Amino acid sequence: MMTEFKAWHKELKKMFLVESLKYLTYSRNEIQLTLVENSFDSEGERPVQVEIECNIKDVVLLSYIGIKDLHGEKIFVGDIIKQANWIGIVKFNLGVFYYELSKPVNPMLYIKGATYWDTKIGNIYENPELLK
């Protein structure tokens, strides 16, 4: 499986798909990205692909974790996941993907355990209000 990324552009405050990553100077850890935004033309009819190039310092890189939710949506680091009894944020640390609970609705139900990740409802950059 090839690694997929999304990128949150800090200045533009927009989410993009990452089309390419290219090391410019390995010793200084300079990485150039080509980002793609899928949008629609002015009539809202035809899809238009907008490409921009930027440096890794301009974005927060978010990795696809290899799992889809029940609706077939790919889950990335930073996504907000909802199940009947909890809302959590997908994170990555020390080589492991995991979710951190933000809103346990009923902690006793959570302890019984969830066997799958149900529904992606947004992400921490575009939908921070979901965590309130």
Per-residue pLDDT of the chain (132 residues; tens, 9 = 90+): 568 889 999 998 988 888 887 776 665 666 777 777 766 656 666 656 777 878 888 889 999 988 888 888 899 999 999 887 788 888 888 888 888 887 665 544 444 444 456 789 999 999 999 988
Q: How many domains does the chain have?
A: 2
Co-location of 52 and 99 in the same domain = no
Co-location of 70 and 40 in the same domain = no
> In whole angstroms, how far apart are CA 6 and each of 35, 49, 91, 107, 127?
8, 15, 14, 32, 15
Co-location of 41 and 100 in the same domain = no
Co-location of 49 and 69 in the same domain = no
Q: Is the CB of residue 114 less than 8 Å from the CB of residue 86?
A: yes
CA distance 31 to 56: 5
Instruction: State pTM to two decimals.
Output: 0.77
Co-location of 70 and 107 in the same domain = yes
Q: How many CB atoms lie within 10 A of CB 122?
A: 17
Question: Which of 16, 11, 12, 15 lies closest to 36 in space, CA to CA?
Answer: 16
Give the structural domain span for 12: 5-59
Co-location of 54 and 111 in the same domain = no
CA distance 51 to 36: 5
